[in-house]
Amino acid sequence: MKDAVFDDFIDRLRSESDIVSIVSDYVSLKKKGKNYWGCCPFHNEKTPSFSVTPDKGFFYCFGCQAGGNVFNFLMRVENITFFEAVKLLARKLNIPIPEKEKSPREQAREQELARIYQVNELARDFFHACLTKTKFGQPAREYLASRGISTEWIDFFKLGFAPPLWDKLSSTFSDRGIELDIVLKAGLTVARTSGDGVYDRFRNRIMFPINDIRGRVIGFGGRVLDNTQPKYLNSPETQVFNKRHVLYGFDNAYKHIRDTGQVIIVEGYMDVLTLYTHGIRNVVASLGTAFTSEQARNLIKLNAELLFSYDSDAAGQNATLRALSTVRTMGAAIKVVSVPDGKDPDEFVRRHGSAAFSGLLTSAQPLLDYQLAQALKADDYSTVQGKIAVVGKLAPILAEADNAVEVNAHITRLSQTLSVDESALRSEISKYIVQVKKDKNVNNGKTINIALLYKQPAPAVVQAERQLIRLMCEDLSLVPYVFAKISPQEIQGALQQEIINFIFNAYNMEKNITQANLNAMVNDLTEKANSEFSHIMLMEIQFDDVVKFADDCIKTIRLAHLTVLYEQHRLMADELERMGDSSFLQELAESQRIKHEISKLHH
């Protein structure tokens, strides 16, 4: 339904909705000045830092940086998709949704998806009945009892048991008139390689239903009671199940993650069950597979701190490192929970209790601390060769970290631990950065261009970028003026650059930009940029001459950009000269040209 009619419908919803009224259904708001304030619904707080600006139609939390328009608010607070938020807002405003006639193919697909969900739910009930009401389930009941899972929790999680027969589920479904074709598409059966027919995928296993965030059964995990391999078996990929996107227990943990601002990520189903039944309920599992970027995004949306608590044996530590490499570049706050004595969270909690595990959560290591500790454990650094090996592992870790203060503190500490001079450590880190950048550019056929060691936009630069965006949004006639003066590549802040790119692109398409374009734009921004845009729209700025103020912002931004370029070319010239490459003269000349531009801007 993404067409002109739908776009007009969205504009109507946006213009007719009162964001204060909508938010007030979920948050107690009080007016202070032009805005309304309350305690944020997305994280725990006692002092209100959640603001709603009615004239602009945005909300923003100064605590957790959540922000956006009325659609974004409903998506976050209800944990629903954009289209579901549209439907919900339309119901609240009593505005009928325009219907689009669906093709026969679309109708058939919707019907098939509904049947898969239905078959999965029936299978869950079948497995649950086998566990709780038949002799087949007796060994599984005894096993679960030995792991501390009572009948109350068996019912809560709808645990089940697949009987040790080849066709019990499929024959039961067939007897009830359910087409085996849809059972096959749900991943519950497997087609026989010789002859017709199917056989049950899950046999003689404890069954863990896997739900989506809305509580619909989308797949299953099965665990054997003996030493049969594989120990765990998941549903195959289907139209409703893709394990890269799914976290076991997310539907139950969602509210608790939002309330605590933390999520504990474990490896297995039993880890989730044990922690949950012991009162630790902000816990999810990655389905026994490597933690994926898709799973990470589901959690990052909640602005939660990610606490990885994988098994503490060698395999678990390797899995932790793989998981950390997945989320490190995604901007998440990450810590690692170390479970002592080679235990997994399930065994530790059953032996020592939830209070002891909560203590482990409190002492969880930040990502960089954990990575450095693991590198130091790997080699004996009492020898020269050991020091070289450890520094070789530390350099990439420190080079890829994004907090200069934290990195500098670690370099100082590590130089003492290893008895290595600080300048030597910094030199190795610089060499790593230069080589990585060189390799990337050579592979891409580009000129070598060194990155600064630790580059973060200065607060004054970020403020100038924000003010420039705010000015353009306040007075849209400024957009072509700013467009002619500066390029998005000169913006250092990644979020501010994304926003300015959108504004310039909207202007380029029509050589005109309207308030409607601007309001629609936020739905196309990434979540973080959306929040940043909301923050900018809440800013109060004062000036006497708007053009002079815009010029001052542009000058600050250009100076910062040129300073970065100057340092890049100067460092590159130094590095090329050390390598004996005569092209250092070109880099040196370019750095001098940029220095001259900086001088002109200053005067």
How far is residue 313's CA from residue 344's CA, in Å, rounded to a whole number?
A: 8
Give which of 482, 499, 508 is closest to 539, Cα–Cα: 499
How far is residue 31's CA from residue 28's CA, in Å, rounded to a whole number?
A: 10
Based on the domain organization, do 487 and 539 belong to the same domain? yes
pLDDT score of 583: 74
- Mapped onto helix, strand or coil, the DSSP state of residue 331 is coil
Residue 559 neighbours by CB distance under 10 Å: 17
End-to-end, the C-alpha distance of the chain in Å comes to: 55
Based on the domain organization, do 179 and 299 belong to the same domain? no
pLDDT at position 515 over 70: no
Percent with pLDDT over 90 in the chain:
37
b/e string for 354-370 if b means 16 or more Cβ within 10 A? eeebeebbeebbebbeb
Inter-residue contact 282 to 262 (CB < 8 Å) = yes
Q: 3-state DSSP: the chain helix, strand, coil percent, rounded to 5?
A: 60, 10, 30
Q: How does pLDDT run across 530-547, given as a tens digit for each residue?
A: 888 888 888 878 888 888
Sign of CA dihedral 548, 549, 550, 553: positive
Based on the domain organization, do 320 and 411 belong to the same domain? no
Give the end of a domain, one of 181, 207, 234.
234
Based on the domain organization, do 518 and 563 belong to the same domain? yes
Based on the domain organization, do 303 and 281 belong to the same domain? yes
| Single-letter code of the amino acid located at 165 | L
Tell me the mean pLDDT in the region 383-389.
84
Question: Would you mind telling me the total number of residues written for the chain in this entry?
Answer: 603
pLDDT score of 442: 41
Based on the domain organization, do 123 and 226 belong to the same domain? yes
Sign of CA dihedral 191, 195, 197, 198: negative
- The reported pTM is 0.69
116 part of a folded domain: yes
Give the end of a domain, one of 68, 93, 118.
93
How far is residue 218's CA from residue 105's CA, in Å, rounded to a whole number?
A: 22
pLDDT score of 314: 63
Based on the domain organization, do 466 and 588 belong to the same domain? yes
Rg (CA), the chain: 29
Give the DSSP letter string of 111-164. HHHHHHHHHHHHHHHHHHHHHHHSGGGHHHHHHHHHTT--HHHHHHHT-EEE-S
Inter-residue contact 302 to 263 (CB < 8 Å) = yes
Give the DSSP letter string of 501-532. HHHHHHHHHHT---HHHHHHHGGGS-HHHHHH
87 part of a folded domain: yes
| Single-letter code of the amino acid located at 337 | V
For all residues of the chain together, what is the average pLDDT?
Answer: 84
The backbone region for 441, taken as left when phi is positive above 0, alpha when psi lies in -120 to 50, beta otherwise, is alpha
47 part of a folded domain: yes
Based on the domain organization, do 484 and 560 belong to the same domain? yes
Within 13 A of 308's CA, how many CA atoms are on the CB side? 31
Confidence bin at 437 (pLDDT 50/70/90): low
Based on the domain organization, do 52 and 111 belong to the same domain? no
φ/ψ of residue 498, rounded to 5: -60, -40
Q: CATH code at 9?
A: 3.90.580.10
511 token code pair: 């050589």
Tell me the mean pLDDT in the region 171-200.
91
Based on the domain organization, do 258 and 127 belong to the same domain? no
pLDDT at position 439 over 60: no
- Mapped onto helix, strand or coil, the DSSP state of residue 385 is helix
pLDDT at position 450 over 60: no
Q: How does pLDDT run across 5-43, given as a tens digit for each residue?
A: 777 788 888 888 999 999 999 999 999 988 999 999 888
Residues 6 or more apart from 599 whose CB is under 8 A from it?
none
pLDDT score of 512: 59
Based on the domain organization, do 490 and 522 belong to the same domain? yes
How far is residue 387's CA from residue 82's CA, in Å, rounded to a whole number?
A: 53
Stretch (H or E) spanning 186: none
255 part of a folded domain: yes
Q: CATH code at 339?
A: 3.40.1360.10
Give the end of a domain, one of 329, 362, 395.
362
374 part of a folded domain: no
**Peptide bond connecting 104 to the previous residue in cis, omega within 30 degrees of 0:** no
The backbone region for 158, taken as left when phi is positive above 0, alpha when psi lies in -120 to 50, beta otherwise, is left
pLDDT score of 355: 94
pLDDT at position 521 over 70: no
pLDDT score of 52: 93
368 part of a folded domain: no
Inter-residue contact 117 to 240 (CB < 8 Å) = yes
Q: Quote the number of domains for the chain.
A: 5
Q: CATH code at 541?
A: 1.10.860.10
The backbone region for 335, taken as left when phi is positive above 0, alpha when psi lies in -120 to 50, beta otherwise, is beta
Within 13 A of 221's CA, how many CA atoms are on the CB side? 22
550 token code pair: 């815009």
Give the DSSP letter string of 170-183. HHHHHHTT--HHHH
Place of tokens 């619909």: 216
Sign of CA dihedral 295, 300, 304, 310: positive
Confidence bin at 447 (pLDDT 50/70/90): very low
Give which of 81, 60, 57, 79 is closest to 70, Cα–Cα: 57
The backbone region for 215, taken as left when phi is positive above 0, alpha when psi lies in -120 to 50, beta otherwise, is left
Domain span at residue 138 reads: 104-234
454 part of a folded domain: no
Tell me the mean pLDDT in the region 110-125.
95
Based on the domain organization, do 596 and 467 belong to the same domain? yes
pLDDT at position 288 over 80: no
474 part of a folded domain: yes
Residue 105, judged by CB atoms within 10 A of its CB (0-12, 13-18, 19+), counts as exposed
pLDDT at position 112 over 80: yes
Residue 289, judged by CB atoms within 10 A of its CB (0-12, 13-18, 19+), counts as middle
What is the maximum span of the chain, computed from C-alpha positions, in angstroms? 89
